[in-house]
Structure 1
Amino acid sequence: MLIRDIRNGSYARAKDRSVLCELLHPAHERECTNRYSLAHAVVPHGEATLPHRLKTSSETYYILAGEGQMHIGDESAPVREGQVVSIPAGATQWIENTGEGDLVILAIVDPMWSEGDEEIL
């Protein structure tokens, strides 16, 4: 059985400048048999991630808290707590925190995130 708790997680700045805690990654846990990886991400107040793309993986953001402006390719839209954003593989993406507090996101990458698949633009 594999159980993770974000209260005990290790957070660090990711290459896209979000503050990230990897919760599940099949390449790092023998018990994890998923195709996808799962991370808890925070974009602090007044900050934004760097434009980036995942070359072959798609990504889904579930907004847990806060408000932001999501940018995918040439499109942009406001996002808030309770919404889901689908980001296709190969799409340039970035998100900015436009709210008063932290923007908190659950990020699901399928197939699992790999460093070689991510490109900071």
Structure 2
Amino acid sequence: MIISDLNKCQPIIGSEGTKIKQIFHPHNTMLGIGYSVSQCTVGPGKRSKPHKLKSSEIYFILKGHGVLHIDDESSDITENQAAYIPPSSRQFIENTGDADLEFLCIVEPAWKQEDEIIE
């Protein structure tokens, strides 16, 4: 059994501009998983950089609210909502609230730097 403690995950700043705490990824677990799970944070009034990823993603909003942009579509998104982001879609999320926007990012197959294009 592997248990990951979010409080012990060291945050990094992703190339798209979000603060990321990597919870599970194939390189940090011996379970042979093929996906990755991270908690991401975007500060008030901030947004991630437009980017594309070869993998599909699901964003599950934990706290706050914002606007999610996928290709030519934009939608408000808030706590307890989830969104599917198809592979190779141009995407970014912006925080329209006055507190941090926190969300889980599930990537399948697992995120790899070489699979991400920052625009």
Normalised TM-score (structure 2) = 0.97
**Deviations 1:18-74, CA, capped at 9 Å, x for gaps:** 000111111x1342322110101000111000000102x100000000000000000
**1:50 alignment partner in structure 2:** 49
**1:35 alignment partner in structure 2:** 34
> What amino acid is aligned across from residue 19 of structure 1 in structure 2?
K
Deviation at 1:95, TM superposition (A): 0.2
> What amino acid is aligned across from residue 81 of structure 2 in structure 1?
Q
For residue 116 of structure 1, give the secondary structure of its aligned residue in structure 2: helix
Q: Which runs of 5+ in 1 are unaligned?
A: none
> What amino acid is aligned across from residue 21 of structure 1 in structure 2?
K
2:2–2:29 CA contact under 8 A, matched in 1: no
Kindly indicate whether residue 113 of structure 2 is the aligned counterpart of residue 84 of structure 1. Answer: no
Identity across aligned pairs (percent)? 39
**2:70 alignment partner in structure 1:** 72
For residue 23 of structure 1, give the secondary structure of its aligned residue in structure 2: strand
Using the alignment, how far apart are the partners of 1:88 and 1:8 within structure 2?
30
Using the alignment, how far apart are the partners of 2:28 and 2:19 within structure 1?
21
| Count of aligned pairs | 119
2:53–2:116 CA contact under 8 A, matched in 1: yes
**1:16 alignment partner in structure 2:** 16
Normalised TM-score (structure 1) = 0.95
Let me know the Cα RMSD of the aligned residues. Answer: 0.8
> What amino acid is aligned across from residue 43 of structure 1 in structure 2?
V
Q: Which runs of 5+ in 2 are unaligned?
A: none
**2:98 alignment partner in structure 1:** 100
For residue 7 of structure 2, give the secondary structure of its aligned residue in structure 1: helix
